[in-house]
A and B are shown apart, each in its own frame.
Chain A
C-alpha cells in the first residue's frame, strides 16, 4: 500500500466494474480489509463491452485523473469474445481522448475476476503512480 495512496490529493480514478465478475472482486478486497485510495470511485455496469467512450471522456473532463475498466475477461457470461470487444472499445476511446487533447494513458483496462482482490488493489496503486507521471510529462 503506497503512502501516496493515502493522501487526499492522490489522483482521482473512476473504475467501471462489471456486476457479476469484477465488482465482486472489488467487494472481496473490502471484505479482506485490503486498503486502497479513497480517491477511487466505482460504477458497476453489466458488461465491459457496454462502456461508452464518451463516458470516459466525460469523466476526465469532469475532474477524474484516470479511468480504469475492470473487465470481465474470459469469465464474461454474456459474450465469449468480450475481451476482443472491450479491446476495440479501449482503442476507440484512446483515439477519442487524443482528439480531445487528453493522454490516452489516462485510460487503463485489465481483467479483474470475481476473486481478484489483490490484483485490483495493486492495479489501483500502480495506476495512481503512473497518472502522476503523466501529469508531469
Chain B
C-alpha cells in the first residue's frame, strides 16, 4: 500500500541513549515496518560524519522521508531540516523522534521498558512521516510601503526612520495641523527643548523627505488584504478618497488627557487648572507668573488626578493605570516655576513620587529649590475649598496624618493620560483593546509593539502612557518590526497551517469565531459556502480544529490521520 521510502536513523548519542536503550533492537524492530527501506544506527547523528552519511543514503536509496531518533527536537530540528534540504529531501518530510530526554534519560533503571518505549516512539515517528506531504514555506511578497496613522511625535519620527530605510511612509493625520500634543508643549524635561521647535524641525525633515507623503485632515476608511499587502482607503478632505497599497500599518494615534469632573478637586473654580494649562501659563511672559489676572505666589499640586483610581460610587469605571510621566512633569514644572520666580511657594500633594531612573535628579533639584512635599493616602484624598480663599486641606502621612491647610493662588491638578477613543479606527483595523482601554499588544513583556493582527503595529501613547523619548523609542521599535517585515521584499512563513476539507464543510461559522487571527474566510466551492484558510494569517495552533462539528479542519503535520496513526503505532507496540 505504501510506496514510501523512509530512512530511519537511530542515535547512540555516545552512550547517552545506547546505555539505557537497546539501540540495535530498536533498529531491527523497525527495519521492516511499512514504508521503511533503511534502518541504521549512528554513534552521533548530529556529527558531520553522520550527516554526510545520511545525506548520501538519501541520495543512494532515493529516500523520500527521514526519521531521526535521537535527542530533543529543540536541539537539532533546524540542523536536520537544513541537512535534508541539502540532500534534496523536502525538509518537512523529516521527523524528529526524542528518545533521549523523553526516553533514555528518564528511564535509566529499566532497559526493557525504555527499549519498548523507544520502539513505539520510532514507529509513531514513521507513521507520521509516512503521512507527511512535501511542503514549502509560504512566501508572501511584500509592498515596501507603510501607512502611519497619526502624525504626532511618534508618527512623525516613525515616518522619518522608515524613509531612511527605503520604505515609503504614508503619514496620515486626522487634524489639519500635524504635531499632536508636543506641538503645544513648552519646555520639555529633561533636556529643556521646546515642543513646538521640536515638531517644526521634524515637520521640516518630513516635508523634505521624498520617501514620506503627509496627508493632513485625512482618515482611514477601509482596510483589506493581509500582512505584506494591505489595501487601505483614505478619506482626504471632505469627500476625496484615495486607495493605497501598503505592506504594514503603524498606529500612532496618541492619548487624551484626563478631564477632571467639575466636582473633582474644585475643578469648576477658575483657579483650579490642569498641569497642561499651568505649563502653557508658564510659557507666557517672564518674571512673576500671572494667571487669570493675578500674580501667582503659592501653587498647590495635587498628583494622580485621573490615574490610579479605585472603583467607587463616583468612579464606577476607574482609570487604574499610572500615567507614568506626570510626577516628573509636575516636578519639572516646579523647577521652571522657581526659575521664573524663586519666591513662589510650591506644595506637592502626592501618593508616590515616581521620578524613575534619571528623573530622580529632578526630584532632588525640586527639593533643593524649596518645594514642599506632602503625602496623602488614596483613602483620604485632599479636599479643595473654593469658597473665599482658595485652599487645599490634606492629611499629610509624613507628619502622622496631621491635617494641613494650604492657601493657594493656583491649584494644579496633575492629570494623567487616558486612552483616546477611536471607535471607527478600532472597527476598521479590529484593534484589540486592553483592560485599561489602551491598545493591546500581543505580549506586554516581549512584544510591546505588535498586535495579534499581523502587519499592524502600535506605538507611542496609544499603547500606554509614555514620555516623549519613550514614545520615540516605541515608534522606532515599530519601525524595526515593520522593516523586518518589508525590507527583504518577502516574508517566509511556516507551512504547518490549518486546512479545510471543503467537501465536509457546511459553513457553520464556528471556526471563524474560534480564530483570533482572522485567518478563515468564507468562499464558494462547488456551489456551496465553505470556509477557507488564509495561509498567510494562520498560526497553526489549531484552535479551530476541535470546534468543527464536521471534522473538516486539520493542521498540516498534526492531522487527524497522523495523530491517529501515531496512537495506533503506540498501541501496536503496547499489545506486543
Contact = CB atoms under 8 A, between A and B. Distances in A.
A30 B546 contact: no
A53 B541 CA distance: 16
Interface stretch (A59-67, A97-105, A125-133): A59-67
Given A27-B72, A27-B102, A50-B541, A8 B112 contact: yes
B546 A53 contact: yes
Given A30-B101, A31-B101, A35-B106, A46 B558 contact: yes
B110 A64 contact: no
A109 interface: no
Interface string B496-517: 1000000000000000001010
A102 to B, nearest CB: 15
B563 A64 contact: no
A35 B102 CA distance: 10
A53 B108 CA distance: 33
A14 B112 contact: no
Interface string B71-98: 0101000000000000000000000001
A53 B546 CA distance: 7
A134 interface: no
A24 B72 CA distance: 9
B102 A42 contact: yes
Interface stretch (B230-238, B423-431, B564-572): B564-572
Given A14-B567, A58-B564, A62-B567, A35 B109 contact: yes
Interface residue SS majority, chain A: mixed
Given A30-B100, A92-B546, A35 B567 contact: no
Interface in A16-68: 23-24, 26-31, 33-39, 41-43, 45-47, 49-55, 58-59, 62-64
Contact of A89 (B103, B546, B551): B546
Contacts of A4: none
Contacts of B105: 30-31, 33
A49 B544 CA distance: 8
Given A12-B574, A55-B567, A79 B543 contact: yes
A50 B545 contact: yes
B50 to A, nearest CB: 22
B183 interface: no
B540 A46 contact: yes
A34 B34 CA distance: 34
A92 B547 CA distance: 10
Nearest to B574: A63
A46 B541 CA distance: 5
Nearest to B546: A52
Contacts of B98: 27, 42
Given A43-B124, A50-B555, A77-B443, A29 B574 contact: no
Contacts of B542: 45-47, 49-51
Size class of the A contact interface (CB-based, 8 Å): 35 or more
Contact of B101 (A27, A39, A45, A46): A27
Contact of B558 (A30, A38, A45, A63): A45
B496 to A, nearest CB: 8
Interface string B102-146: 111111111011101100110010000000000000000000000
A55 B116 CA distance: 22
Interface string B423-460: 00000000000000000000100000000000000000
A38 B575 contact: no
B420 interface: no
A41 B117 contact: yes
A83 B564 CA distance: 24
Contacts of A52: 545-546, 551, 560, 563
Interface string B246-281: 000000000000000000000000000000000000
Given A29-B106, A36-B106, A58-B564, A41 B541 contact: no
A51 B546 contact: yes
A26 B546 contact: no
A89 B514 CA distance: 12
Contacts of B100: 30
6 contacts: A33-B106, A50-B546, A52-B560, A55-B560, A78-B539, A85-B514
Interface of A: 6, 8, 12, 14, 23-24, 26-31, 33-39, 41-43, 45-47, 49-55, 58-59, 62-64, 77-79, 85, 89, 92
Interface of B: 72, 74, 98, 100-110, 112-114, 116-117, 120-121, 124, 443, 496, 514, 516, 539-546, 551, 555, 558, 560, 563-564, 566-568, 570-571, 574-575
9 closest A-B pairs by CB: A50-B542, A38-B113, A30-B101, A47-B541, A62-B571, A78-B541, A30-B105, A27-B101, A63-B571
Given A35-B106, A37-B113, 18 more contacts: A6-B109, A12-B574, A14-B567, A26-B102, A29-B101, A30-B106, A34-B106, A35-B107, A43-B124, A46-B555, A50-B542, A52-B545, A52-B551, A53-B546, A62-B570, A63-B574, A64-B570, A79-B543
